[in-house]
Structure 1
């Protein structure tokens, strides 16, 4: 019945729209591609696609198969990559997804010694995820997820790496700079800078402002840590970052960190991996080194 070839064909049709382009993408002849689907249609006794001019459109049955392809084909590709690496005597590859923007500075201290210990392991770091990397981990697009906000699921194992306190960052000359802690209502006239993350997933909102039914005067997005802190140092607004990162930058910039509320906001960085891959040595060693890397 269903074979991997069918999944690849329907995925190519969905992506390219025409038989010609799909055949070219799969390095097959149009007749071979068409024959394969006609044979499947005969077995299933239902149409898989229908022609609309020069384009092909998947039927309900075709969409159902293509939905399966989205879930299954990445597993094939990942396993084939591992098998190819084994056959060629290579250790593997480690694709790291980052949901923690400021953790990039910490990650550099992990990767440097790791590359020396594992010279045959290729590393790729993907930072484009905005709290959407869990799906990428489940779909084999990445191998490791670094996040301060784990979404626990049965198929993912999260390992705590290090804890820290989330802090408000202000200019050294800001009225709040000498406060031991800040109350939510003291930020209502402030401009808040943050990374491009949904407000409901930002701790300053979810754990501090929103429960107190407060907000800031203006919320602006800045993608880079350095520019964000330059803006804060210039008195243009405030931001929220891990305390260890603020401590590093405060050595060269006129900024200070202030606790959120009397008790603060405690956070933890986790590394997420797929549960059935705990036996991979180079992956486990990455977690071990990450746990021992100093912030």
Structure 2
């Protein structure tokens, strides 16, 4: 019979790269782990790894079992943690995944009243996922996904929580600052600063530049909002960000928002959850609180 222990071993050997390292993590001797692996392969009637000197390479059967382990084990671990929390009279931890780099300021304004209303629920925020945000939801690594670009999949539901406009951010005295709106071709001579996100997922590219067959002079990647805006303020480039975020920083940094195109770029932030979890009280309360928050032009909850 295929057991959870077998899946755990397969996952850990893949993570650590060797039986020796996996044995240390699993608190086993190498001989004990090797014996378990041998019995598992005998029982399954097929090899899980091919031995190439000191290296191990998953066979086709091993690759199938690894994929199974990566799907099943996180769900079991999540269920065990949830049961432990129930047994201790706790509601649990709300794990929020972020696919929206500039949304931390918004998230903080939602989390603060949420924690006050739900004192027996902890909040954790994750930004990097092994299989992307959707994979993290399906894999039970997170409970809520914050994203401006929902990918509709069976088993998931997405709720829009607020609208915003994506704008170009320029520094003081920039040649584009006084324009009523920016045509795409105006960015051909600009250094465009963005978060470290694939180009095909950046709105400034897929909704503005690429349809007009225009590319910026140079593309620069910066991870943090504060540094990005300092770079813009110092004339080192331009950026595309939500208007509410730009307005919030405008009092601290010398920057200005300008509309992208005559009609602008309208966006929404969505919260995605698993359909099976949508009725959980503390998770549902977070979605409702986020949806009911009224956001004005400065990005402040009112």
Q: With the length of structure 1 as denominator, give the TM-score of the two structures.
A: 0.91
Runs of 5+ consecutive residues of structure 2 not aligned to the other structure: none
Find the aligned partners of 2:131 and 2:192 in 1 and give their Cα distance. 20
Match in the other structure for 2:92: 92
1:266 aligns with 2:259: no
RMSD across aligned positions (CA)? 2.2
Change in Cα spacing, 1:216 to 1:54, as seen in structure 2 (3 Å) is closer
Match in the other structure for 1:173: 173
Deviates more, 1:36-45 or 1:255-264: 36-45
Within-5 A mapping of 1:1-295: 1-28=1-28, 33-53=33-53, 56-128=56-128, 132-293=132-293, 294=295, 295=299
Find the aligned partners of 1:199 and 1:131 in 2 and give their Cα distance. 18
Q: Could you say what secondary structure the match of 2:189 adopts?
A: coil
Change in Cα spacing, 1:58 to 1:129, as seen in structure 2 (3 Å) is closer
Deviates more, 1:49-58 or 1:211-220: 49-58
Change in Cα spacing, 1:217 to 1:18, as seen in structure 2 (3 Å) is closer
Offset of 1:31 from its aligned partner? Answer: 5.9
Please tell me whether the aligned partners of residues 167 and 259 of structure 1 are also in contact (alpha carbons under 8 angstroms). yes
Find the aligned partners of 1:25 and 1:129 in 2 and give their Cα distance. 22
Runs of 5+ consecutive residues of structure 1 not aligned to the other structure: none
Offset of 1:160 from its aligned partner? Answer: 0.4
Find the aligned partners of 1:21 and 1:225 in 2 and give their Cα distance. 38
Offset of 1:47 from its aligned partner? Answer: 2.6
Offset of 1:141 from its aligned partner? Answer: 1.2
Deviates more, 1:278-287 or 1:166-175: 166-175
Q: With the length of structure 2 as denominator, give the TM-score of the two structures.
A: 0.89
Offset of 1:110 from its aligned partner? Answer: 0.6
Offset of 1:259 from its aligned partner? Answer: 1.0
Aligned length: 295
Offset of 1:33 from its aligned partner? Answer: 4.1
Offset of 1:67 from its aligned partner? Answer: 2.1
Q: Could you say what secondary structure the match of 2:239 adopts?
A: strand
Please tell me whether the aligned partners of residues 130 and 136 of structure 2 are also in contact (alpha carbons under 8 angstroms). no
Please tell me whether the aligned partners of residues 182 and 259 of structure 1 are also in contact (alpha carbons under 8 angstroms). yes
Please tell me whether the aligned partners of residues 146 and 270 of structure 1 are also in contact (alpha carbons under 8 angstroms). yes
Please tell me whether the aligned partners of residues 192 and 218 of structure 1 are also in contact (alpha carbons under 8 angstroms). yes
Please tell me whether the aligned partners of residues 131 and 197 of structure 1 are also in contact (alpha carbons under 8 angstroms). no
Find the aligned partners of 2:85 and 2:43 in 1 and give their Cα distance. 37
Q: Name segments (4+ residues, structure 1) moved above 6 Å.
A: none
Please tell me whether the aligned partners of residues 144 and 272 of structure 2 are also in contact (alpha carbons under 8 angstroms). yes
Please tell me whether the aligned partners of residues 191 and 237 of structure 1 are also in contact (alpha carbons under 8 angstroms). yes
**What do residues 155-175 of structure 1 show as CA deviations (whole Å, max 9, x unaligned)?**
221110100111111123222
Find the aligned partners of 1:56 and 1:209 in 2 and give their Cα distance. 46
Find the aligned partners of 2:44 and 2:245 in 1 and give their Cα distance. 59
Find the aligned partners of 1:128 and 1:22 in 2 and give their Cα distance. 24
Find the aligned partners of 1:99 and 1:178 in 2 and give their Cα distance. 32
Q: Could you say what secondary structure the match of 2:70 adopts?
A: helix
